[in-house]
Structure formats: structure tokens, C-alpha cells
Structure 1
């Protein structure tokens, strides 16, 4: 990975959106490496974490949470169903829709991957120049600003 302390040729291309993109790519690479051999990658782990926290969620709700098109979420759900890590549950208010929830096998896969995730998280949090809660608050504010800009577009 390139040392970000030395700029690329020419002017530093940084701005808040570009730096966010670079940070997301670096986080994905770190998590993919930490999760190697678990059967889950960074995206899978994030989705399993959301499902575990939510209990049950509709594909539309999941798409909103992960800021992904419905078609992308649908493909992801199909992969998780094929693994036996999620199951469909009838939607209580909408007969045309369904909700998804982790199976025992999905929870076990998430727990096993979590054992690889936690040391990576601890290493990153230990290297932060300010408390993790402050950084998370700044990230929530950034996400809200991005979502507001998306709604105006």
C-alpha cells in the first residue's frame, strides 16, 4: 500500500470525499486481510453484523442501511441463502415482501469471523489520535452530510 504521508505527483488530490473513499478502501483491505480464511469478507461481515443487530430486516431496509441498489442487495441475499446463513421470513405487514434473518449457521460464521475482526478493530482504535467515540461521531456527521447531498442530487 502506498505511504499516504508522501503525496502523489503533482498537487495533493485530497478533499473530504476523496479522503473518505481512500479510507473506505483501506478499511476494506484491512478487514479482508483480517477475515481471510473465515469464509466472509469485509462486506459480508458488515451485512452479517447488521442482520445480527436488526434481528430481521427487509431487503429494502438493508439496501438503505448499506447504501446499495436493491439489485446488489438481492444478489447478496441470494449468496447468503445459498450458504444457509440467512432465511426468509414472511413480512408481517406486506405479503409481497419478506424479511431476512441470520440462521444459527450464519450467527456461528459471524461469531467466528468476529474473533478475527476484534484484534483489527483494537489495533486501529489504539492508533487513533483521539477517542474512538469522537471519531465515530465525526463519521456519523460526515455520513449525514453525504446523505443530505445525495438527496439534493
Structure 2
């Protein structure tokens, strides 16, 4: 926990060298969230990135590696290394893509779903605690983060 300022609000992280801008601050939030999730779900054997990937795979009928690459904003080689790691664990399987017979979709196996469930049980309390800390601002903050994500995606696509 951070020490509270004199007004009772949490202590603010100092801004270093005038680097405060929307992208740098989003990066700081990302790093802090990553560490929070990593620590919370460590006993599950998954890290924050893996938990996010398992979550998106668990939410539907699987995903192609290309779709996963786009969703993660990651290079295909990065996705490939994740896929290999998850396959070694027995957590994902490749199924034919009904929309394109030349490609495949990734789906969680029963073992992968169990690992995801375990991580989710560890994740839920920190999500609730974070939402409680935001209080009435939780929904608006979430909406603003999604707005930022869409803006960053648009700029990234424009500069690709």
C-alpha cells in the first residue's frame, strides 16, 4: 500500500524528468497493473500476459494466431512463442478454422481452462479491490481506458 498524503488520498508517484504525458502515464499504469496481476496469480503458474491470453481464448470459440496477434498488439513471432509454450503445457489445442481451411484456431484444453479458472480465482479479489479503490469513478475510468486504447490502436494502425 502507498502511504497517504496529508489530505488522506494515496501518495502520488513522483513524475520524473517532465515525462508526464498520456502515453508515458499509460505505460506506468500498464507496468503497475502487470506487477499487481503477476503477484496475485503467481501460485497459478500463469503470469499476467498468459492470464490475459487465456482469458480471451476462454471467452469464445478460440482465435486464430493472426487474430491473437492483432488483439495483443504483438508480432506473430511473439504469438508463436506463446503458442509453443502453451502447447508444451497441454493448455491449448489447434482446431481447424471453419472460415479458412488453411488456418487453425487456438482453444484452451480442459487443463488450460482449469489453469485459467485457478488464476481467475486469485485475480478476482484484486480486481474487486481496485474497483473499490476507484469507487464511483470505476465505470468512467474503464470507459476512458477503452477510449485511450482505441486512439492508440488507430495511431498504431496509421503508422504501421
**TM-score with structure 1 setting the length:** 0.92
CA distances 1:28-85 after superposition (whole Å, capped 9, x unpaired): 0000000111110000100000000022110001111111111101110111111001
Q: RMSD value over aligned CA atoms?
A: 1.9
1:70-149 residue pairs with structure 2 within 5 A? 70-149=76-155
Deviation at 1:6, TM superposition (A): 5.1
What 5-or-longer segments of structure 1 have no aligned partner? none
Q: Which runs of 5+ in 2 are unaligned?
A: 4-10
Please give the residue correspondences for 1:24-43 in structure 2 after superposition, counting only pairs within 5 Å.
24-43=30-49
4+ residue stretches of structure 1 with deviation over 6 A?
1-4
Question: Do the aligned partners of residues 12 and 86 (structure 1) sit closer, same or farther apart at CA in structure 2, a change above 3 Å counting?
Answer: same
Number of residue-to-residue matches in the alignment: 152
Q: Give the TM-score taking structure 2 as reference length.
A: 0.88
8 Å contact from structure 1 (residues 55, 102) kept in 2: no
Alignment partner of 1:33: what SS? helix
Aligned CA distance change for structure 1 residues 108 and 25 (closer, same or farther; 3 Å): same
